[in-house]
């Protein structure tokens, strides 16, 4: 079986792109290519560790036992084995924040501890909505209290309402996640409604085809607000059967994250099985 073979560090290093993305985790090698587009914390988090050993990074953000919850068994390719004389695989880990390049500017590294970044961001004035979205993108991968997520979403929504940029993204170019996609993943129905009122595009897709409902399908249940958020998105004409890479719908995302309650919620609203 593929999961039984020995894999060298050099072979892992070769798979460091969106098209083929491998990482080492606690002595095992995983192919996360399929996982990239649906990672709730954003693609940049996964890409930062491509072709590297991400065990230290995982321990800083998740519990080791969550591997079975987040990663599919078939993604495990084998065991990382470094023969004598072979350079060990480089490690990817959270770095200490670097100083901003200039006054009024803010540097952002996906490897930076997002809690520290959040504090830096909140102290500064004139930060764009897109920069704030980057912080939320990083914070999504952490187990945060609902109140902290709400505070972050409230800041983004207020920036949208003040500056009129409802479809800004967390990437410097086009194709990233918009405030509405983040609201679908961690926000409330009020956040969703306010963004839609500010002319957020409910049909927006990232460059990989991820929609607001794909993001919604990654919400961790139980979540008392999930039903009202879903209703708000559907009323805005978001398609519950929209497809992203490899034809995956929101229902596929919910199934990938092993969330039977989310699957039932989507099916009840018309998701095609």
132: confidence class by pLDDT, cuts 50, 70, 90:
low
pLDDT at residue 7 tops 90 = yes
pLDDT at residue 118 tops 50 = yes
The per-residue pLDDT for 263 is 95
Number of domains in the chain: 2
Q: Taking the model in full, what pTM does it have?
A: 0.60
The per-residue pLDDT for 106 is 36
Average pLDDT over residues 26-44: 82
Query: Same structural domain for residues 260 and 140?
Result: yes
Q: What is the rounded (10 degree) CA torsion for 98, 103, 104, 109? A: -10
Domain around 9: 2-80
The answer to whether residue 107 is domain-embedded is: no
The answer to whether residue 99 is domain-embedded is: no
Residues 112 and 102: beta-carbon distance below 8 Å? no
Q: How far is CA 139 from CA 2, 28, 132, 266, in A?
A: 34, 26, 11, 25
Higher pLDDT residue, 270 or 72? 270
Query: Same structural domain for residues 197 and 69?
Result: no
**Spatial distance between the Cα atoms of 199 and 191, rounded to a whole number of angstroms:** 13
Question: Model confidence over 205-230: pLDDT tens digits?
Answer: 988 889 999 999 988 888 899 999 99
The per-residue pLDDT for 129 is 63
The per-residue pLDDT for 103 is 37
Question: Model confidence over 135-169: pLDDT tens digits?
Answer: 666 555 555 556 667 777 887 788 788 777 788 88
Tokens 């002595």 sit at which residue? 27
6: confidence class by pLDDT, cuts 50, 70, 90:
very high
Higher pLDDT residue, 32 or 208? 32
Query: Same structural domain for residues 75 and 119?
Result: no
The answer to whether residue 42 is domain-embedded is: yes
Long-range pairs for 35-40 at CB < 8 Å and ≥24 separation? 35/71, 35/72, 35/75, 36/208, 37/206, 37/208, 37/209, 37/210, 37/244, 37/245, 38/210, 38/214, 38/218, 38/244, 38/248, 38/253, 38/256, 39/141, 40/140, 40/141, 40/185, 40/215, 40/218
Q: What is the CATH number of the domain that holds 191?
A: 1.25.40.20
Q: Which of the listed residues 54, 80, 106 is the one where a domain comes to its end?
A: 80
For the chain, the DSSP string reads -GGGEEE-HHHHHH-BSSSSBEEEETTEEEE-TTTGGG-TT-HHHHHHTTTSB-HHHHHHHS-GGGHHHHS-GGGEEEEE---TTSPPPPB--PBPPPPPSSTT-----TTB-HHHHHHHHHH-SS--HHHHHHHHHHHTTS---HHHHHHHHHHHHHHHHHH--TT--SSSSSSS--HHHHHHHH--HHHHHHHHHTT--TT---TT---HHHHHTTPPSP-TTHHHHHHHHHHTT--TT---GGG--HHHHHHHTT-HHHHHHHHHTT---
Q: What is the CATH number of the domain that holds 20?
A: 3.10.120.10
The per-residue pLDDT for 46 is 86
Query: Same structural domain for residues 122 and 257?
Result: yes
Cα torsion angle, 134, 38, 111, 153, sign: positive
The per-residue pLDDT for 170 is 74
Token couple for 228: 């009202």
Query: Same structural domain for residues 72 and 151?
Result: no
The per-residue pLDDT for 199 is 93
The answer to whether residue 92 is domain-embedded is: no
In the chain, the percentage of residues whose pLDDT exceeds 70 is 73
């Amino acid at each position: 079986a593929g999961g039984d073979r020995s894999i060298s560090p050099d072979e892992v290093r070769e798979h460091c792109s969106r098209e083929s993305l491998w990482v080492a985790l606690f002595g095992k090698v995983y192919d996360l290519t399929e996982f990239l587009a649906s990672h709730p914390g954003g693609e940049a988090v996964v890409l930062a560790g491509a072709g590297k050993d991400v065990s230290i990074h995982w321990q800083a953000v998740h519990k080791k036992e969550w591997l079975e919850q987040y990663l599919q068994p078939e993604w495990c390719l084998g065991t990382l084995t470094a023969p004598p004389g072979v350079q060990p695989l480089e490690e990817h880990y959270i770095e200490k924040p670097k100083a901003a390049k200039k006054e009024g500017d803010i540097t952002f590294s996906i490897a930076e501890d997002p809690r520290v970044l959040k504090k830096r961001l909140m102290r500064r004035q004139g930060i764009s909505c897109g920069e704030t979205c980057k912080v939320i993108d990083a914070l999504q991968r952490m187990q945060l209290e609902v109140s902290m997520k709400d505070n972050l979403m409230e800041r983004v929504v207020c920036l949208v309402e003040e500056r009129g940029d409802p479809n800004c993204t967390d990437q410097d170019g086009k194709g990233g996640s918009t405030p509405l996609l983040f609201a679908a993943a961690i926000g409330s129905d009020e956040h969703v409604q306010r963004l839609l009122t500010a002319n957020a595009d409910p049909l927006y897709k990232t460059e990989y085809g991820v929609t607001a409902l794909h993001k919604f399908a990654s919400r961790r249940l139980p979540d008392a607000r999930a039903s009202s958020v879903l209703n708000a998105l559907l009323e805005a004409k978001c398609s519950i059967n929209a497809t992203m890479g490899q034809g995956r719908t929101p229902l596929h995302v919910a199934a990938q994250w092993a969330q039977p309650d989310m699957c039932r919620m989507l099916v009840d609203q018309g998701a095609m099985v």
